[in-house]
Amino acid sequence: MLSVLRVHLPSDIPIVGCELTPYVLLRRTDKAVTTDDVPESAPLDGHFLRYKWYRIQSDRKVAVCSVHPSEHATLQCLGCVKAKIPVAKSYHCSPKCFSDAWQHHRVLHDRAASAVNENGNEEEELFGRYNSSGSGVLNTSLSGSASSASLTNGSTPLYPAAVTQRSGETWFEVGRSKIYTPSADDIGHVLKFECVVVDAETKLPVGHPNTLLTSRVIPAPSPTPRRLIPVSGLDAMVPLDPDGRISSTGTFTVLSYNILSDVYATSETYSYCPSWALSWPYRRQNLLREIVGYRADIVCLQEVQSDHYEEFFAPELDKHGYQALYKRKTIEVYNGNFLTIDGCATFFRRDRFSHVKKYEVEFNKAAQSLTDALVPSAQRKTALNRLVKDNVALIVVLEAKFNNQGADNPGKRQLLCIANTHINVHQDLKDVKLWQVLTLLKGLEKIAASADIPMLVCGDFNSVPGSAPHSLLAMGKVDPLHPDLVVDPLGILRPHNKLTHQLPLVSAYSSFARVGVGLGSDQQKRRMDATTNEPLFTNCTRDFIGALDYIFYTADSLMVESLLELLDEESLRKDTALPSPEWSSDHIALLAEFRCKTRLRR
């Protein structure tokens, strides 16, 4: 007979909006052990599994700390209450917690007061995207979220019957499927999962049910929304309005973000991040909430696993009006599961752009061609072992659906070329990094020669400012005496005068270094490296902090209108580093708003 051997959850801390998928180990009649589901529609040997979820409600509701959501709150900030800041943000677990968080917590007070002075609508403007107070706002932009248990958690009634178990404690049935997504109503309560074998003919349970209890449900942490800072002469910060356009007519926004592939997000590498915040069910919802909240016209993501692209990001972003394109890393280096290979994904808003052409750059193929042409046959295997590193780039040509040319040239098509790449990470392969960047730029030069087209080069280049790859991108050449050129065992970088390109590329975030004094700009300048004109960091872990990610643009055809504000290191260090419960990648997102220039052909 079918029997349940074990049930458990990968993480025992449930979070609002994040699916709970229990692990159920079964023994079939033939003694084989399996984790396959046995639904009523497909019974096995006359039996199937029935699932139920309960919310255990006691007379006393437990508040949780806004900084350490796995801890119970012991005090509340009355300033938050007076300012009408979402109540979940007002709780702290100890006086020390409140004191340590005050520098960042008071920003909520300042912004709430500022918003009241401007338009009296502070709660919607400041917290609409990330509100986790239980108001139901948290999940309005996400499908499959749990604003109502009856919509997503099986065929349970809207107002399920309560089952009283003992004095002061009541069980509410909230779900009848294997997977359950906690809702705001569950915050502060323990959940109970029940699994029992049922006779398919009589519909009666066979044996005792297997159960497990979770810890108390916690709200999803809510980072303070990042704002757009104008760099084109305006003097006010622009909020990212969740309901309206952030870009004016004729401008468009581009987001670049390494989202940290789940296969790399291990507790060994990121031991400082709580296991529940490192789990993919939590991170994917937090990342989606963040990405959707930016409302970018073009989204370039790196480290997107192929299964996560197909099953999550493509369908979810499609619901928000995005068309998706993807380039998976080549298979030579990975010998494991096909689905765990990551790649680059580019999304664009269908109402703003249409797809014209797609180019895929596989550096492995370029490596094969290079070694065949330059390396003696006896050394080719060694050369390929060094050069074949599985990295790729995705180049997309789009046509704008909005008028960007003005009255003098109303009929001209506005094309845009966007390159999205993830360059090799290994620090001892400086020659390979530079060669990959050079290969990408030479490909873009060919496109530029065939069409008068503005270009954007986005991604994680795994190269700090001042390195040879960064110099090639930003300066168009590499100094022959650059120390990175010392490492060139295959001679692929010689002669050094070939390390050039003709694209007029400029780093978007260098605009912060050039902008005049204005609201928000001084703060952003302090988060820039004055010697390199790049952010102090885009990647922040316990062992490394520095800039690795960039958005480059062709300065003769595009101008930067505004930039997404940078984060400060101190605010991230309260959680040791990235990823954290608030930010679900070890990188930060970069976003720039551009306007096309009216110009003569190059």
Residue pLDDT, tens place only, 101-128: 787 787 778 877 776 665 544 333 333 3
Residue 166's pLDDT band (boundaries 50, 70, 90)?
low
Cβ proximity of 74 and 94 under 8 Å = yes
Give the CA radius of gyration of the chain: 27
pLDDT at 439: 98
pLDDT at 333: 43
Check pLDDT > 90 for residue 39.
yes
Cβ proximity of 543 and 269 under 8 Å = no
Check pLDDT > 70 for residue 454.
yes
Check pLDDT > 70 for residue 165.
no
Greatest mean pLDDT among 75-79, 185-189, 222-226, 541-545: 541-545
Between 242 and 464, name the one with better pLDDT: 464
Question: Which residues, listed in sequence order, are joined to residue 163 by a DSSP beta bridge?
Answer: 171
pLDDT at 143: 35
Check pLDDT > 50 for residue 140.
no
pLDDT (average), residues 171-178: 94
Cβ proximity of 368 and 439 under 8 Å = no
pLDDT at 599: 57
Asked which of 138-142, 177-181, 283-287, 332-336 is least confident by mean pLDDT, the reply is 138-142
* Calpha distance 17→281 (Å, rounded): 9
Check pLDDT > 90 for residue 283.
yes
* Calpha distance 265→267 (Å, rounded): 7
Both tokens of residue 296?
A: 């970018």
pLDDT (average), residues 166-170: 69
Sign, Cα dihedral of 174, 179, 181, 182? positive
Between 114 and 561, name the one with better pLDDT: 561
Check pLDDT > 80 for residue 198.
yes
pTM score, two decimals?
0.83
* Calpha distance 500→311 (Å, rounded): 40
Please give the C-alpha separations between residue 269 and each of 266, 275, 284, 483, 542, in angstroms, as whole numbers: 5, 12, 19, 30, 9
pLDDT (average), residues 536-548: 97
- Say whether 499 sits in a helix, a strand or coil: coil
Mean pLDDT, the chain, integer: 85
* Calpha distance 365→359 (Å, rounded): 14
- How many CB atoms neighbour CB 331 within 10 A? 11
Asked which of 119-128, 311-320, 413-422 is least confident by mean pLDDT, the reply is 119-128
* Calpha distance 486→327 (Å, rounded): 32
Dmax (CA) of the chain: 83
Q: Locate tokens 């309901």: which residue?
A: 243
pLDDT (average), residues 418-427: 96
pLDDT at 128: 33
Both tokens of residue 225?
A: 């929304």
Both tokens of residue 19?
A: 């699916």
pLDDT at 144: 35
* Calpha distance 53→156 (Å, rounded): 10
